Amino acid sequence: MNILLVEDDSVTAEHIHKGLIEAGYSVDVISDGQQALLMMAAKQKEYSVLVVDRMLPSLDGLSLVRALRQDGCETPVIFLTAMSGINDRVMGLEAGGDDYLIKPFAFSELLARINALGRRGGLQRGEAVLKVCDLEVQMIDRIVMRCGDIIKVQQKEFSLLVILMKNTDRVVTKAMLLEQVWGFHFDPKTTVVETHISRLRAKVDKPYTSQLIHTVRNIGYSLHA
Amino acid sequence: MLSKNLLNSTSFQIAASSFVQIFYFFIVIGAVIVLMVNAELDKHLTRSVLETKKILQTQYLEKGEAGLVQTIEQYGQGRHAENHIYFVADKNSVKIAGNLAVPYRKYGWADVKPEVLGLDEELPFRVYGYKLGELYVLIGVSREITEEVFEIILFVLGVGFSLVLGFILLNGLYQAYITQSRIALIGATLDRIAAGNLMERISLQNNHDDIDQLSVKINAALEQISQLVNNLEQVSVDIAHDLKSPINRLNLHVYSLLKVLEYESEAADKAQLVVAEATAINNTFEALLRIAQIESGARKAQFQHIDLKDTLFSLLEAYVPVIEDGGFHSHIDILKSLPLDINGDKELLSQMFANVLANSLRHCSKGTTLSVFAGYKRKGLIQVIFSDNGAGIPAVEREKVFRRLYRLEKSRTTSGTGLGLSLVKAVAHLHDATLKLEDNEPGVKITFLFKAVDNNSGNSSYTKSHKARFF
């Protein structure tokens, strides 16, 4: 997967570049908004995800993404920015961003979001049945089954499970779960995610021999065999 | 609403005050005019009587008693007879000639009622009786002539007075309407500004009147406020960039360090502590910035019609498992069927309620019951109450807990920025909600009062049985 990183802070750019290379991605780094626009015009189809800072020289990140969307570019965009005002996230998403990550950030958080966005195209086509090992989720009937047993889960537990299954083998961070399951873009200051994951585990993992939901320390959760 | 307050407007009050002053002015002027005219008419009547007296005197001197009687006979029957009295009697008061049927004998000037003189008139007569030789002569003139003049004067004064006062009154109402319309426009503009549209300005009439001059000053003040808010936003951006960037780099460096440190080694644990501290610093000024942005009121422009019940249910759906699994008890008292509609920002309200719940969870011991109630206090007023039966907050500290960075002595060892309840206060204020923290005896009770946008839904019974059910 090729990623275009548009970031004018050299330390941040270097760190992300190095981290993504280590994670197996191919990364191009540009520090200027106008140059990024030119680059996308020339090589748009080569990139799977764009990571864009908002405060950039010559053309700010919002204008860059707006221009790309007007040109018909559908490449997923993550804003990576220090602008954390209460309207900034909305402005970013309205400009055409797909995700909004606020600095300072943990690299694992960025990586998880890039992974989720990079896979999004395929997932959005909508699988009717999600299956990981002996765990199965029927999306239309909202049925969860493991080893042939029907497991009764609450609405939010179902949402949690679906997100984890759609990101099988990848890490989903707590912040991503808070945003996607509850729509919280703030720190709940309690163990909301941990508690609901614990309840979900008690239903889909504990009665069975193999554990599928794994905790990734200080980051989030991953569902895999 | 405009007409309802019209009589209370300053313009109308000034007009009414002018009306009263001019009314008294007219009364005084009218009285002076009446007195002067009356005096002048009296003089005229007197002159008229005296001239007649002179003629009669001349007739008497020239032609004797017969000439006097003849003249009086003529006057008493001629065109002068109307409204006039001409009378002559002998020394025994026996009528000799004249148009008076009843005997009358008084000397000098007098105002006599017509019935005394046996006349079928309405108004008194101004009479003068005197002795001429052996004869008694009475000459008089009816006051009807003066009354007619009075009536004309009073009519002219009345019409003039009514026209002037009517004009003043109508002009007052018109000016009041114009003034109130302009004040209503200013009020509407200020309401839009209060709602977060900081670029709104009061439109001017350019007639340099008082309201225009006041509007210019208000616009100048608004410009300054807008500039300050812009400065605040710019400062926020600057802080975001200039302070957060070093913290971001610090974190990135520590993450790089963590990669080369042995997993779960002492050095790696220390490095994690550095990340945690950096995150805490960032969280503190993120919270400060967020509170400042909320207090600026700009977010009001994004307010939408929302049902508080939905916001609370979404939040409780996330938090009730945390409450129950954390060893606490929950008691939810919200009618599912009752709409609790307000204008607001769902995300900020969620964060506000989340902060209140998180605060209770952090500071209460296990076994505590956390209760949430939502409903109508009265028509148009929604009440949301979060309460617990924990240790509570000392009375002297209850107001202080909403201050920025204030932390209770007993809470200094627990995590938190000391900004959670400051944000609660800022969000409540943004929504024009009343916030009250009380002793729950035992525990803490926080009450929010919101203005409902749909009054029709109020006054529903709290006693219906189908309350919220979770899980």
- pLDDT tens digits, residue range B434-448? 999 999 889 999 999
Contact A154 B471 (CB under 8 A): yes
Convert the pLDDT of each residue in B276-290 to its tens digit.
888 888 888 788 888
CA nearest to A190 within chain B? B358
d(CA B141, CA B161): 32
* Unique residue bearing structure tokens 């009587």: B49
* CA atoms within 13 Å, Cβ hemisphere of B209: 9
pLDDT of residue B467: 47
pLDDT band at B80 (very low <50, low <70, confident <90, very high): low
Global confidence as pTM: 0.68
Chain B nearest CA to A87, separation (Å): 8
**SS3 assignment, position B199:** coil
CA nearest to B233 within chain A? A85
Residues of B in contact with A198 (CB under 8 A): 325
Q: Is-contact B357 B324, C-beta < 8 A? A: no
- Chain A residues within 8 Å of chain B (Cβ atoms): 9, 11-12, 15, 18, 55, 82-87, 90, 103-107, 154-156, 182-192, 195-196, 198-199, 218
Of B278, B294, B325, which has the smallest distance from its Cβ to A195's Cβ?
B325
On whether any CB of chain A is under 8 Å from the CB of B247, the answer is yes
Contact A195 B420 (CB under 8 A): no
More confident residue, B415 or A35: A35
Inter-chain contacts counted by CB atoms under 8 A, chains A and B? 115
**DSSP states of chain A as a string?**
-EEEEE---HHHHHHHHHHHHHTT-EEEEE--HHHHHHHHHHHGGG-SEEEE-SS-SSS-HHHHHHHHHHTT----EEEEES---TTHHHHHHHTT-SEEEESS--HHHHHHHHHHHHHHHHHTT--SEEEETTEEEETTTTEEEETTEEE---HHHHHHHHHHHHTTTSEEEHHHHIIIII---S--SS-HHHHHHHHHHHHHTTTSSS--EEEETTTEEEE--
Whether B458 has a pLDDT exceeding 50, the answer reads: no
Residues of A in contact with B327 (CB under 8 A): none
Chain B nearest CA to A42, separation (Å): 31
CA nearest to B241 within chain A? A82
Whether B216 has a pLDDT exceeding 50, the answer reads: yes
On whether any CB of chain A is under 8 Å from the CB of B318, the answer is yes
pLDDT of residue B3: 55
Chain B nearest CA to A200, separation (Å): 12
Convert the pLDDT of each residue in B309-362 to its tens digit.
999 999 999 999 999 999 999 999 998 888 899 999 999 999 999 999 999 998
Residues of B in contact with A155 (CB under 8 A): 317
Convert the pLDDT of each residue in A99-154 to its tens digit.
999 988 888 899 999 998 886 554 444 678 999 999 999 999 999 999 989 999 99
pLDDT of residue A92: 95
* CA-to-CA separations, A105 to A101, B33, B255, B282, B326, in angstroms, rounded: 7, 94, 10, 11, 29
On whether any CB of chain A is under 8 Å from the CB of B91, the answer is no
pLDDT of residue B283: 84
- Buried b / exposed e over A151-186, threshold 16 CB at 10 Å, is bebbebbbbbbbbbbbbbebbbbbbbbbbebbebbb
Q: Is-contact A113 A78, C-beta < 8 A? A: yes
d(CA B228, CA B234): 9
- Percentage of residues in chain A with pLDDT exceeding 90? 74
Helix (H) or strand (E) holding B72: helix B10-77
pLDDT band at B196 (very low <50, low <70, confident <90, very high): low
Residues of B in contact with A184 (CB under 8 A): 318, 350-351, 354
Residues of B in contact with A160 (CB under 8 A): none
Whether B261 has a pLDDT exceeding 50, the answer reads: yes
The alpha carbons of chain B give a radius of gyration, in whole angstroms, of 47
d(CA A186, CA A178): 8
Which of these ranges, B138-142, B236-240, B371-375, has the smallest mean pLDDT? B236-240
pLDDT of residue B183: 85
Mean pLDDT of the B173-195 span: 83
pLDDT of residue B255: 85
pLDDT band at B411 (very low <50, low <70, confident <90, very high): low
Of B251, B256, B317, which has the smallest distance from its Cβ to A104's Cβ?
B251
Residues of A in contact with B289 (CB under 8 A): 84-85
Residues of A in contact with B249 (CB under 8 A): 9, 11-12
Interface test mutation site (partner A, options B234, B311, B319, B322, max chain A beta carbons within 10 A): B322
Whether A58 has a pLDDT exceeding 50, the answer reads: yes
